[in-house]
Amino acid sequence: MSKTVSIRKGLDIRLKGEAIKEISTLPLSELVSISPLDFHGLNPKLVVKEGDTVKAGDAIFFDKAHESVMYCTPASGVVKAIVRGEKRRILEVLIETDAEQNYRQSDPINVANATLEEVKSKMLENGLWPLVKQRPLDVVADPNQTPKAIFVTAFDSSPLAPDFNFVLEGREKDLQAGLIVLSKLTTGKVHFNINPNQSSAFSSISGVEINKFSGKHPAGNVGTQIHHIDPINKGEFAWTLNAIDVAIIGHFFNTGIFDLTRTIALTGSEVSNPQYYKVVPGTSMESIVSGKVKGNHVRYISGNVLTGERKELNNYLGYYHNQVTIIPEGDHYKFFLTQGWLGLGFDKFSNSRLFPTFLMPKSKKFVLDTNTNGEERAFVVTGELDRVFPFDILPMQLVKAAITNDIDGMENLGIYEVAPEDFALCEYVCTTKINIQDKIRQGLDVIAKECM
Amino acid sequence: MKFLENILHKMEPNFVKGGKYEKWNPLFETMATFAFTPKLVTTKGSHIRDGVDLKRTMMTVILAMIPCLLFGIYNTGHWEMVAATGDRNLSYFADYADKFFNGLVIVLPLIVVSYGVGLGIEFLFGMLRGHSLHEGFLVSGMLIPLTMPADVPLWMVGVATAFAVVIGKEIFGGTGMNVVNIALTARAFLFFAYPTSMSGDKVWMAGTEMDGVSGATALGDLATFMTDKPVYENLSGFTNEYTVWESFSGMIPGSVGETSTLACLIGAGILLITGVGSLRIMASFFAGGLAMGLLLNVVGGNSYFDLPAYYHLIIGGFAFGAVFMATDPVTAAQTATGKIIYGFLGGFLAILIRVLNPAYPEGVFLAILFMNISAPLVDYYVIHANVNRRLKRIKTA
């Protein structure tokens, strides 16, 4: 039975720099990186050496814990370098790309008749498995588990997020095939969660439960959707994806080609012409942003401002990211009466009503920088996290349990349902300025070690 | 402001680790972060952060207390003049400047002593622990003088503040870690350590040492209904002396900042509009007080019991406690449901203690302190209800 849910708790952070609906294709960057660090908790074992020639879709490394899960290169070329860090930990594998891209060609598969084993082994071998994540823990799914349901979010509600309708235009067939593939993987349902205004765009989708989620961010977060449809209890597994990744999976089964090309949105107040670009994950940031940046002291973020990763120009686009955001750095002093803590604050977007901006019309957009706007403090203010956290979970108590390594507390308070991204808004609004997402991740790591 | 920024830049190397005045870093940092929001940027997680910080939050609470403070200064000046002239019926609206000035002379030293002693101790602990001043005391330092009788000796304010900051807060770890409200700890300390200076009829008006002038508060007078020798023959005697309007607006003797319900409500407005104060706590606190008042009306049989329930809300420190003390987020219940229970019980108990315990004419601060201690218990059950909902899901599935 499909559900319609309206999310009332939450916050839409109104930032300047939304992408206009125009797509350009960027030339493939000279180097493409595939990094084990994009997959939390992954312990990689390399299958290539420096100097090897690889096609797009060839395995680069696999997961030592689940040896069947292959991680494949999105671009063809020569393995130029294996970058290692402390204790010879693999940081990334750099591929020098060919001018003409070669894809590893498999036979297309008719998904309607495919069996579970067939689908699974194809996905594992061909690098599609890492697109499937699991809850609890928010890591790449464990292929040996059977999920109670699979949740696909068909929209992104985070600040300046790409419009999935636009990005997926013309890919309905891939999306549909991908959803059929997913339905083979679970004994339960596949939930396809859309925004009410997407009803027409995805009207052709069938064979899955279509749920509607409206309201503020985090309505588009898959964690929010799971909680309101079929919450995860201890011992249960749910798998999660977003619709763009489902289309990538579907495309492989339809054509036999592993094509990770994504349509990403280049957004943020410091972008001169925010718009969409077609790139593969692992493309260098420089090739994405060069010549398109307004400010001279900016932060490049792979992903959105709430959950994305900080990147330098010589870093690479993250594996899961559909967005690049550029915002001003805030590493300068702000005099307390003008721009600082006691100023009028017409430029400060806040969830509290301590700034006059709460009176401003909804159309007003803001330029926010990376300044924390204050120092770290103990928890003093209560109730502010609850206002942006649409779960029947007590956020502050759970965060405290995570900070204090209280395993029983975390279990009781619902750690199995959440991922760090669910706490991104809490982190944004919290007066303490504590890195809450990081604390939740550490809590999940403890749970992974002790309880899974 | 570039000028000030440059000075800071120049001084900074002396105060960082390994610098000449490394030990004084907490002091420097406090000054620097007061004048300038520091240039700290996000490192992990969300790249942008809300504009709100603890400094602004605390400053808003101080702003909300300004009406109480200003009114309190004038009121103190008025009753000082009453005591000096011996004329209880002195017109309230005359000699504005004189009264305000006289009030200022009495109240300002209280504020100076409270902040001086409190911040001094906070800095000391800050230096010992190597962190800058945390903002909690900015509010406590203003609350303490507002809860004091005008005539309290300054040294007592200092001792009480020191006790409250050290025993009430710092031994628990500082701002955000305390179990009971700091300002109320100071008040309670004085109440129990120097009872003669904190109750009775001699302390509420500055300079009351004359015959023929009673310096008692409304509550003190009311409490005598519970004894053999009431001040007033019956309730109407009391309500004539303390009319609803006078009690509500605060033109009655009492602690410096607590008398005016009107000023408290202006403060409440500021706290609620900005979202700093919890509506749940404030509303349920008033509801609790009203409920107990009505219950006493129903029981009846005594003039104090028969006092109209709304009177309880406008006399004494009830409104002040509800708006500024009970809502202290650190010591109040922290869950949404918990806040309602906490507030209601607080208001309920305040009136219970006030009426039924003649030893304590004012029950508000005791009730709030008691609820501070009980808040974790309230939260415990609210949290368990949440946990049980989750466990139930497994059983039904």
What are the residues facing B44 on neighbouring strands? Answer: none
Summarised one tens digit per residue, pLDDT across range B150-199 is 888 899 999 999 999 999 999 998 888 899 999 999 988 988 888 776 66
Instruction: Mark yes or no for CB contact A372/B275 under 8 Å.
Output: no
d(CA A260, CA A280): 6
Token code pair at residue B51: 């504009």
Model's pTM, two decimal places?
A: 0.91
Q: Is residue B40 part of a domain?
A: no
State which residue of chain A sits closest to B48, comparing Cα positions.
A370
d(CA B383, CA A382): 14
Summarised one tens digit per residue, pLDDT across range A277-329 is 999 999 999 999 988 898 889 999 999 999 999 999 999 999 999 999 999 99
- Is pLDDT of A94 > 50? yes
Confidence of residue B345 (pLDDT cuts 50, 70, 90): very high
d(CA A107, CA A102): 15
A137 touches chain B (CB under 8 A): no
d(CA A232, CA A441): 18
| Whether residue B78 is found in the same domain as residue B19 | no
- Is pLDDT of B265 > 60? yes
Q: Is residue B18 part of a domain?
A: yes
| Whether residue B157 is found in the same domain as residue B25 | no
Which pLDDT does position B363 carry in this prediction? 84
- Is pLDDT of B83 > 60? yes
d(CA B360, CA B356): 9
d(CA A359, CA A339): 19
Cβ atoms of B274 and A354 closer than 8 Å: yes
Q: Which residue has the higher pLDDT, A402 or B214?
A: A402
Considering only CA atoms, which of A293, A264, A159 is closest in space to residue A220? A159
d(CA A12, CA B175): 31
Cβ atoms of A295 and A354 closer than 8 Å: no
Cβ atoms of B330 and B338 closer than 8 Å: no
Which pLDDT does position B3 carry in this prediction? 79
Q: Is residue B246 part of a domain?
A: yes
Q: Is residue B204 part of a domain?
A: no
Long-range contacts of A87-91 (CB under 8 A, 24+ apart): A90/A36, A90/A44, A90/A46, A90/A61, A91/A35, A91/A36, A91/A37
Q: Is residue B258 part of a domain?
A: no
d(CA A297, CA A301): 13
Looking at the complex, report in whole angstroms how far the Cα of residue B277 sits from the nearest Cα belonging to chain A: 9
Confidence of residue A1 (pLDDT cuts 50, 70, 90): low
Instruction: Give the count of Cβ contacts less than 8 A between chain A and B.
Output: 205
Which pLDDT does position B230 carry in this prediction? 76
Summarised one tens digit per residue, pLDDT across range A249-258 is 999 999 988 8
State which residue of chain A sits closest to B41, comparing Cα positions.
A371
Summarised one tens digit per residue, pLDDT across range A358-370 is 888 888 899 999 9
ipTM computed for the complex = 0.89
| Whether residue B177 is found in the same domain as residue B61 | yes
| Whether residue B129 is found in the same domain as residue B167 | yes
Confidence of residue B211 (pLDDT cuts 50, 70, 90): very low
The one-letter amino acid code at A170 reads G
Tell me which of A326, A380, A386 to substitute to probe the interface with B (most B C-beta atoms closer than 10 Å): A380
Which pLDDT does position B236 carry in this prediction? 80
Summarised one tens digit per residue, pLDDT across range A168-193 is 888 888 999 999 999 999 989 999 99
Q: What is the CA radius of gyration of chain B?
A: 23
Q: Which residues of A touch B390 (CB under 8 A)?
A: 233, 392, 412, 414
Instruction: Mark yes or no for CB contact B53/A305 under 8 Å.
Output: no
The one-letter amino acid code at B137 reads F
d(CA B362, CA B208): 20
Looking at the complex, report in whole angstroms how far the Cα of residue A234 sits from the nearest Cα belonging to chain B: 8
State which residue of chain B sits closest to A335, comparing Cα positions.
B36
Which pLDDT does position B201 carry in this prediction? 54
Instruction: Mark yes or no for CB contact B336/A386 under 8 Å.
Output: yes
| Whether residue B349 is found in the same domain as residue B238 | yes
Q: What is the CA radius of gyration of chain A?
A: 22
| Whether residue B241 is found in the same domain as residue B307 | yes
Q: Which residues of B touch A422 (CB under 8 A)?
A: none
- Is pLDDT of B39 > 90? no
Instruction: Mark yes or no for CB contact B46/A437 under 8 Å.
Output: yes
Token code pair at residue B112: 């100076």
d(CA A438, CA A397): 16
CB atoms within 10 A of CB B388: 11
Q: Terminus-to-terminus CA distance in chain B, angstroms?
A: 63
State which residue of chain B sits closest to A347, comparing Cα positions.
B51
| Whether residue B116 is found in the same domain as residue B86 | yes
d(CA B33, CA A113): 66
Q: Is residue B262 part of a domain?
A: no
In which order are the strands placed within the sheet that holds A90-97? A31-34, A90-97, A77-84, A53-54
Tell me which of A14, A230, A234, A352 to substitute to probe the interface with B (most B C-beta atoms closer than 10 Å): A352
| Whether residue B60 is found in the same domain as residue B170 | yes
- Is pLDDT of B202 > 80? no
Instruction: Please give the C-alpha separations between residue A419 and each of A8, A11, A146, A239, A394, in angstroms, as whole numbers.
Output: 20, 18, 19, 12, 14
Token code pair at residue B12: 């900074």
Domain that holds residue B247: 218-252+278-387
A442 touches chain B (CB under 8 A): no
Please state, rounded to an integer, the average pLDDT across all residues of chain B: 86
Q: Is residue B158 part of a domain?
A: yes
d(CA B213, CA A392): 59
A350 touches chain B (CB under 8 A): yes
d(CA B119, CA B123): 6
| Whether residue B17 is found in the same domain as residue B96 | no
Task: Tell me what percent of the residues of chain A surpass a pLDDT of 70.
Answer: 100
Q: Determine how β-strand A133-135 pairs with β-strand A44-46.
A: unpaired
Summarised one tens digit per residue, pLDDT across range A336-388 is 888 888 888 888 888 888 888 888 888 889 999 999 888 888 898 888 999 99
| Whether residue B222 is found in the same domain as residue B317 | yes
Q: Terminus-to-terminus CA distance in chain A, angstroms?
A: 31
Please state, rounded to an integer, the average pLDDT across all residues of chain A: 90
Coil/strand/helix, residue A134: strand
Which pLDDT does position B215 carry in this prediction? 53
| Whether residue B28 is found in the same domain as residue B120 | no
Number of domains in chain B: 3
Q: Is residue B268 part of a domain?
A: no
Which pLDDT does position B208 carry in this prediction? 45
Cβ atoms of A61 and A71 closer than 8 Å: yes
Q: Determine how β-strand A23-25 pairs with β-strand A275-279.
A: parallel
Confidence of residue B7 (pLDDT cuts 50, 70, 90): confident
| Whether residue B171 is found in the same domain as residue B123 | yes
State which residue of chain A sits closest to B173, comparing Cα positions.
A378
